[in-house]
Amino acid sequence: MNGIHDMGGMHGFGRVEREENEPVFRAPWEGRVLGITRACAVQHIFNIDESRHAIERMAPADYLGASYYERWLDRNIRLLVEKGVITREELERRMAQLAGGTDPAPLHSDPKLTDRMLRMTKERTPYRQPGPAPRFARGDRVLTRHDAPVGHTRLPRYARGKPGVIVRVHGTFIFPDTNAHGQGEQPHALYSVRFDAALLWGASAEPRAPVHIDLWERYLEPAAPARSTS
């Protein structure tokens, strides 16, 4: 989708501001949001691609107005409501109850869940899945699709319809464009593709600053080996 999240190359944002000795979480609620998100993943309530797409579906002005963990909270509520796990009314009622000093939720302990969540920080989620043999090899010249799908995609807008070179064949990975929409994992080849800065940004490109993007085979077409791009 042509979303506000797809901001690579946009003009208008200022200096990158840094904070020295920044805390891991700026407020306790941020950590709770992260933990809740991890629990939802472990419970298979939503997958990573649905999760990213839910953030992309925020209204652009809301996206820009929210902090990182506010976007996560918005995403969690949006998906939990869409999947019928909670309702917004239920959430409002619970807020009122908590504000009044009562938490009706009984204590609940789940050591297995804790263990699975902790293991998730150390073990890979199996995004790499068996799939068809890659069509391209290292050194092949490709052209990215010039398309504007309405759904989730990981081909950034700034790299649509651009020529590039395969620099690495990563193997076969779950395809976000289908996995985000309940259309299956459809694993297939993922590549690291190098793009010349001048071909992405035109005359204002910095010299010797190629951009590499990990792209699925379905984003790519073969390009005629007409001329060098470097």
Nearer to other proteins, 106 or 224 (CB): 106
- Nearest distance, CB of residue 43 and other proteins, angstroms: 5
Q: Which amino acid is at 53?
A: H
Nearer to other proteins, 20 or 224 (CB): 20
- Nearest distance, CB of residue 150 and other proteins, angstroms: 16
Nearer to other proteins, 109 or 228 (CB): 109
Nearer to other proteins, 106 or 182 (CB): 106
- Nearest distance, CB of residue 127 and other proteins, angstroms: 4
Nearer to other proteins, 206 or 224 (CB): 206
- Nearest distance, CB of residue 148 and other proteins, angstroms: 15
- Nearest distance, CB of residue 135 and other proteins, angstroms: 17
Residue spans of alpha helices (H) in 6-107 = 28-42, 48-56, 60-65, 68-82, 88-99
Nearer to other proteins, 120 or 223 (CB): 120
DSSP per-residue string spanning the chain: ---TT--TT-S--------TT--SSSSHHHHHHHHHHHHHHHTTSS-HHHHHHHHHTS-HHHHHHS-HHHHHHHHHHHHHHHTTS--HHHHHHHHHHHHTT---PPP---HHHHHHHHHHTTS----B---PPPS--TT-EEEE-----SS---S-GGGTT-EEEEEEEEEEE--HHHHTTTS----EEEEEEEE-HHHHHGGGPPTT--EEEEEEGGGEEE----S---
- Nearest distance, CB of residue 179 and other proteins, angstroms: 10
Candidates 41, 65, 60, 66; CA nearest to 51 is 41
